[in-house]
Amino acid sequence: MDMDNVYASRIEELRSLMRRNGWDAVIITGSDPHGSEYPAERWKQVRWLTGFTGEAGDVVVTQDHAGLWTDTRYFIQANTQLSGTGVELHKTRIPGQVLIPEWLCLHFSEADSIVIAVDGLAVGASFVTDELSGTLNDAKIEHCVQSIPDLLEELWTDRPGIPQTPIFATDPGETREDRIAWLREWMEEHSFDAVLLSALDEIAWILNVRASDIDYNPLVISYLLVSRGDVRWFVLKGEVEDPDTLRTFGQMRGIRLERYNDLERVLNDSGHIRLSVDSASVNYELYDKLSHSSLELIPGTSPVGLRKAVKNPYEIEGMKRAHLLDGLAMEKFLYWLDKSMEADRVVSEWDAAVRLGRYRAETDGYVGDSFETISAYGRNAALPHYVTPNSDAPLLHPEGLYLCDSGGQYEFGTTDITRTVPLGPCSELEAEDYTLVLKGHIDLAMAIFPAGTAGCQIDALAREPLWRRLRNFGHGTGHGVGYFLGVHEGPQDIRQNFNRQPLLPGMVTSDEPGIYREGLFGIRHENLLLCTEAGDNGFGHWLQFEPLTLCHFDTSILRTDLMTAEEITWLNEYNAMVRDTLSPLLPEEVAAWLKSRTAPI
């Protein structure tokens, strides 16, 4: 450990705090009070403590150990960022993984009893009650989990406050009144008096509201309490509230605006009611306090996530419009990139990311990016979630592979696209891997499957071309995408871990196999797919995918000898569809270039 390292010093300050309070271990997670994948700056506690900037990571600190638990997407990044901090990387989503609860059992196996402190506001209830306490109980280790809200506040003296940005309404083709009425029907069916929604995307969906409280995510940090008689939105956080918010969403619209920090008080005053909470998104601090109140707390799964994932016809049309505009921006960008390499212009990874953002910003309805653009050349692309530096960024050269993973938030949809682009001559290995990954992408995109099929049951379609050659990738193949909401949403996904949720018509899911060779290059091909009907016959009801993304795949280095005739036909038809759809809307020179790039192979 380098004691001159700012993160090593912060960990030692935390250990001093632990000794003063009698804590044997502290757990810091990468989430917020709402179970969000992407937290606001206030809750980026793992980054503040360790310097690790990945989107998924949890930390355990004891007097003699500090560890970061993260998955395969971040191993290379973590090893670099944790150097000198004294924090050890613990790898997850690999064979033989030892997760935090099991590690604590091993570490404290000789202890009579232990005290574990967690920031109860930023750790999920299910993790503490089921995973952590359950594992320690099974190991017969006496323990006490103490919820210490804002545990790091004493050390993080310049910690940001809770954001409150302007709130605006959106039109998804359904009114908030209709969506609230649907939720109340569900409450009636399950005999609930009230439902507490804590997941921010679910609140935004049911109220048809958006804001910018979290970077890249058009969400409002708040809670929503829906009872049979009223709707109370715990959203007010500042000393002076936005008058437009008060006017638009006040009493006249049937929504009672409340202070964000008043939720516990209001619930405690509610008496004996049956309250539904989602144990996956409600935080432990709130759950623990409500468990000891007069409420009848019923943990379970919110119905909103599944209802939100199945897009209505209006939302589907909006998503298609967003992808049309996004495709125009992407083709302009790829044309500019190609001509820049031909002219031997000096272009850095950051320059490329900025240029793409500029093309998106020119389009109607564009609100912002849906996540931070990953602009990675050569070996940097071997980091699946590479962070492009904004100064002294590596330069692009007219050879090898460049990977760009990006997306846009539009008033009528959300996009997410990855293209890996040959910038010039490539090695035989680059060409082979490029082809195998594209084969996997195409094989999944062509899938026809019976209704009731879950994503985990077709994940192998995207991996089989790589598996046949003893190659693989560590991340999931597909995630759900929201309608002007989160770029990652559930409950469906396409990945190897078992998820029972079937794919349903109206769901939008990514298709993004890849391969990453440390120190050499990385490849990922990603489109968004809409699940649609494929027909009925004597064998059952069938589903298929329709590509939403409109941007050609580069064929210049393809090993066509590795592809089947069916795969080549799909690729030619897809590239032709992109060309025919976008060309009339593109500048003449870009359309001519696109025609040459989409010639049949």
DSSP assignment of 565-594: HHHHHHHHHHHHHHHHHHGGGS-HHHHHHH
247 pLDDT band, cuts 50/70/90, is low
Q: Residue 180 pLDDT > 90, yes or no?
A: yes
Percent of the chain with pLDDT over 90: 81
Query: How far, CA to CA in Å, does 313 sit from each of 69, 172, 308, 310, 547?
Result: 41, 9, 13, 10, 16
Please, are residues 547 and 513 in contact by the beta-carbon 8 Å criterion?
no
Q: Residue 400 pLDDT > 90, yes or no?
A: yes
- What is the C-alpha separation between 502 and 591, in angstroms, rounded? 39
- Whether pTM > 0.85 for this model: the answer is yes
Q: Residue 475 pLDDT > 60, yes or no?
A: yes
Tokens of 225: 């309490």
Average pLDDT over residues 576-594: 98
Of 248, 228, 140, 249, nearest in space to 181 by CA: 228
User: What is the pLDDT at residue 55?
Assistant: 81
Encode pLDDT of 26-70 as tens digits: 999 989 999 998 999 999 999 999 999 888 899 999 999 999 999
Neighbours of 192 (CB within 10 A): 21
User: What is the pLDDT at residue 293?
Assistant: 85
More confident residue, 440 or 5: 440
Tokens of 106: 């091993």
Angle between helices 313-342 and 349-361 (to 10 degrees): 140
For residue 225, give the amino acid letter: L
Neighbours of 395 (CB within 10 A): 12
User: What is the pLDDT at residue 33?
Assistant: 94
For residue 372, give the amino acid letter: E
User: What is the pLDDT at residue 529?
Assistant: 98
143 pLDDT band, cuts 50/70/90, is confident
Torsion of CA 104, 109, 110, 115, to 10 degrees: 30
Please, are residues 492 and 504 in contact by the beta-carbon 8 Å criterion?
yes
Q: Residue 249 pLDDT > 80, yes or no?
A: no
